[in-house]
Amino acid sequence: MARSNDEVAALFHEYADLISINGGDAYKSRVYEKAARSIGGYHADVSTLDVKGLQEIPNVGRSIAEKILEYFRSGSVSAVEELRAKIPTGVRRLTAIPTLGPKKACALHEELGISSVEELADAIHDERLRDLKGFGPKTEENILHGIELLQSSGERALLDVAMDLADDIVTELSRATGCQRCTYAGSLRRFRETIGDIDVLAAADRSAPVMRAFTELPYVSEVIAHGEKKTSIRTTKGLSVDLRVVPPDSWGAALQYFTGSKAHNIRTRELAVHQKLKLSEYGLFDAESGKKIASETEEDVYARLGLPWIPPTLREDRGEIEAGLHDELPDLVQETDIRGDLHTHTDLTDGLAPLEEMVAAAAERGYAYYAVTDHGPNLYMQRMTDERILAQRDRVRELDGEHTTRGRRGGMRLLHGAELNIGPDGTVDWPEEFLAGFDLCVASVHSHFNQGSEALTRRIVRACENPCVNIIGHPTTRLIGKRPPIDADLEEIFAACARTGTALEINAHPDRLDLRDEDILRAKRHGVKFSVDSDAHATVHLANMRYGVGTAQRGWLTRDDVINTWPETRLRSFLLKGRTARRSRG
């Protein structure tokens, strides 16, 4: 995806925040908020558009279009700079706390002179917030929670941010003189949910030209270390990148080493020692004679240790070594196995693109089926009505099978669904008679995150017991670095899913990745099935599927575990759930 769109979106999000911090009008702030979302989800690269082209983006008018042009012309937008200058950096630092809004941040700065996250934490512990209007013990607890989240996510980047950058670096370095191979390794190759730093590996006989190409990348803000074997840089966005250049014949050993994880490497090294071998980033050697035994490919290295090649997403020392030794590694689900997306939105609710565009983009991805699941009426701001959803259903039926995807007989099948809201008591938007008219229903929690554990658990179990609910969307509702997972009893929910034939979603949005890998592993033991979905609100989000599949792999899932890899007939019979029994009885 075009990075310039993300840049401009981030700038306008900040501008919207600055407007509210400054006590500006809420309407204006919302206008920029909306524009930011539209730009982030727009299919064309905004840096290539003129004033007219820019105004074709939903929610972008002339004045916003001009600010975008100004940004690409001069590197900044004067209106944004003016507000930045007005607001003390201390206040801006405070708004980095995900649970603290701009108004409260301002009050803290003005009333108590607090201008850093640390000062705020101290003030809460000294109970100095108690006297401020609008700050109760509950607010304090929320703020402390936010500070914890902020500090635990630390400097780690979200997966998509790191991946976009790494893809770009690998493309650039591959063009450098003498570069024979280049790829990313480390946590990124393992698809961890957040990335500490990017590790890039290149193979070349002479490292200097590759190192030079690296330090000359346009977004390098600082060269931290510069050497023959390893160079480290920091980018303008604050992310660090390590590049190692190795001789072509040690490629496999180096890739194995720098992919990690550290825990996995320790285990592979132990295996080597037991066989009187020595494993390092240079190769696998005979411990006594020092003779090199394997190094060119990862497959060679693993084979000489008595292991099959282990997929990077499994390399966390969670049993993959034992499984490998017994030839019991799972046949992991791949992105190419995915036949369709089962949770997506259109502009009928909070999506950015009309139905026709979403469907065309899905067909472009080669899907055999595709579900449209806009929000039900209980998220009141979405203004859904029975008439509107039924009108959408008619349109979906008309488009069903109309897109023929390359290499497939017959057209892409469309499923008409909805994303229901699981209310505080576990009920959902529509009565069963109405729900039975949908091909599938996703149901998710969107509010009341702080109910007690028992109430939260009962709430989701009740949704599972609804015969029309097929998938629990973003099951723990966490937002990485922003909102913790809800405190429900997951084991009980997993058991309910398995018992009722309800799938759990692996939401592929890089802010969510929900369920997370460890929970997937636990759920799988209960026999739960999963649906890997993009939850796309724009055509460009459909491509987030790769992060969902990576997460599914980290949870050891195979095709059989993932319902949207199944042929359409098997999927449809899973989706009937309790509805058949009800129909034949009734």
Interaction site with ligand DGT (CB under 6 A): 186-187, 192, 195-197, 199, 257-258, 260-262, 265-266
Nearer to Zn ion, 277 or 422 (CB): 422
Q: Which residue is nearest to Ca ion (CB)?
A: 186
Find the Cα–Cα–Cα–Cα dihedral 414, 418, 419, 422, rounded to 10°.
Answer: -150
Q: List the x/- string, 147-186, binding to Ca ion by CB under 5 A.
A: ---------------------------------------x
> CB of residue 449 vs Zn ion: minimum separation in angstroms?
16
- Binding to Zn ion in span 533-552, by CB under 5 A: 535
Question: From Ca ion, Zn ion, ligand DGT, none, which one binds at residue 419 (CB under 5 to 8 Å depending on kind)?
Answer: Zn ion
Question: From Zn ion, Ca ion, ligand DGT, none, which one binds at residue 266 (CB under 5 to 8 Å depending on kind)?
Answer: ligand DGT
- Binding to Ca ion in span 212-271, by CB under 5 A: 242
Question: From ligand DGT, Ca ion, Zn ion, none, which one binds at residue 535 (CB under 5 to 8 Å depending on kind)?
Answer: Zn ion
Closest by CA position to 150, among listed 223, 201, 93: 93
Question: From Zn ion, ligand DGT, Ca ion, none, which one binds at residue 341 (CB under 5 to 8 Å depending on kind)?
Answer: none
| Residues near 236 by beta carbon (within 8 Å), at least 6 away in sequence | 219, 220, 221
Q: List the x/- string, 94-113, binding to Ca ion by CB under 5 A.
A: --------------------
> CB of residue 262 vs ligand DGT: minimum separation in angstroms?
4
> CB of residue 319 vs ligand DGT: minimum separation in angstroms?
18
Residue 439 contacts Zn ion per CB under 5 A: no
In angstroms, the Cα distances linking 57 to 6, 50, 66, 313 are: 14, 11, 13, 38
Q: Which residue is nearest to ligand DGT (CB)?
A: 260
Residue 377 contacts Ca ion per CB under 5 A: no
Q: Is the dihedral of CA 133, 137, 142, 143 positive or negative?
A: positive
> Could you give the CA distance from residue 356 to residue 396 in angstroms, rounded to a whole number?
9
Instruction: Tell me the residue type at 462.
Output: R
> CB of residue 512 vs Ca ion: minimum separation in angstroms?
22
Q: Quick one: which segment of 29-37, 147-155, 413-421, 446-454 binds Zn ion (CB under 5 A)?
A: 413-421
> CB of residue 345 vs Zn ion: minimum separation in angstroms?
6
Nearer to ligand DGT, 159 or 552 (CB): 159
> CB of residue 545 vs Zn ion: minimum separation in angstroms?
14
> CB of residue 264 vs ligand DGT: minimum separation in angstroms?
8
Q: State the DSSP string of 486-517.
A: P---HHHHHHHHHHHT-EEEEE--TTT-BS-H
In angstroms, the Cα distances linking 364 to 101, 344, 455 are: 40, 15, 43
Q: How many CB atoms lie within 10 A of CB 230?
A: 15
Find the Cα–Cα–Cα–Cα dihedral 89, 91, 92, 98, rounded to 10°.
Answer: 150
Question: From ligand DGT, Ca ion, Zn ion, none, which one binds at residue 305 (CB under 5 to 8 Å depending on kind)?
Answer: none
Binder of Zn ion out of 242, 341, 419, 514 (CB under 5 A): 419
Nearer to ligand DGT, 239 or 442 (CB): 239
> CB of residue 170 vs Ca ion: minimum separation in angstroms?
15
Question: From ligand DGT, Zn ion, Ca ion, none, which one binds at residue 265 (CB under 5 to 8 Å depending on kind)?
Answer: ligand DGT
H/E stretch holding 274 reads helix 262-274
Binder of Ca ion out of 70, 111, 197, 487 (CB under 5 A): 197
Q: How many CB atoms lie within 10 A of CB 2?
A: 17
Nearer to Zn ion, 201 or 545 (CB): 545
H/E stretch holding 286 reads strand 283-286
3-state secondary structure 544-561: HHHHHHHHHHHCCCEHHH
> Could you give the CA distance from residue 9 to residue 33 in angstroms, rounded to a whole number?
9
> CB of residue 171 vs Ca ion: minimum separation in angstroms?
19
| Tokens 């529509």 found at | 430
3-state secondary structure of 339: coil
Nearer to ligand DGT, 196 or 308 (CB): 196
> Could you give the CA distance from residue 109 to residue 336 in angstroms, rounded to a whole number?
52
Burial class (CB in 10 A: 0-12, 13-18, 19+), 269: middle
> CB of residue 511 vs Zn ion: minimum separation in angstroms?
12
> Could you give the CA distance from residue 327 to residue 325 in angstroms, rounded to a whole number?
6
Find the Cα–Cα–Cα–Cα dihedral 175, 177, 178, 179, rounded to 10°.
Answer: -30
Residue 199 contacts Ca ion per CB under 5 A: yes
| Chain residues in the site for Ca ion (CB under 5 A) | 186-187, 197, 199, 242
